[in-house]
Amino acid sequence: RNFEELRLKLINIDRFIGSYNINLNDLDNRFQNLEQTSYNGVLLWKVTNYREHKNKAVIGQTTSLYSQSFYTSRYGYKMCARIYLNGDGIGNGTHISMFFVIMKGDYDTILEWPFRHKVTLMILDRSGNECHISDSFLPDPRSSSYQKPTSACNVASGCPMFATQSDIEENRNFLNDDCLFIKIIVKNI
């Protein structure tokens, strides 16, 4: 009888520890998301394992990567970046394609639509010379990409021929240690 009571207590303790670990993991994930989230309209995205992701893109396994989300301000527009390492559309097979995506956010009902901020997309030059590959654009207020989102993400907009793959892959200033650094700057105009 004592053995059975002890066994049941151990089972209950084990369940408690298991649920505690699940809650701890959830809190850790939420903390990491908060720690990595930018609220100033600037995203710095480290794309690691470039060659692995590129190979997956070439064979059609995973054609694009999404960045973590970022915001124009604490209660501002929610956004992310999308990159195709083997290109998309007219850039397929020759270029890296980079796009900007407006996402559905918690504060969309109090924001002004359509979205009207200047967007700058960059692949950073790590040589110290600041010869970044960069393109900026102003949103077309008539485009559905810049309207208030009705689903998780709007249609991405950006540059299907952002940079040639050879320019990136043959230059250690951009691709170093098998990673790229992408920077997105969103500014009020």
- The identity of residue 65, as a single letter, is L
Q: What is the mean pLDDT of residues 10-26?
A: 68
Rounded distance, CA 185 to CA 72, Å?
Answer: 9
Cα–Cα nearest to 181, from 168, 165, 164? 168
| pLDDT tens digit sequence for 116-141 | 999 999 999 988 888 899 999 999 99
Alpha-helical runs (H) found in the chain: 2-36, 50-58, 165-169
What pLDDT is stored for residue 111 in this prediction?
98
Whether 79 contacts 69, CB under 8 Å: yes
Give the side-chain half-sphere CA count within 13 A for 164.
4
Cα–Cα nearest to 160, from 96, 93, 76? 96
pLDDT band with cut points at 50, 70 and 90 for residue 39: very high
What pLDDT is stored for residue 25 in this prediction?
63
pLDDT band with cut points at 50, 70 and 90 for residue 156: very high
Whether 184 contacts 124, CB under 8 Å: no
Beta strands, E only, 104-187: 118-123, 133-137, 157-164, 180-187
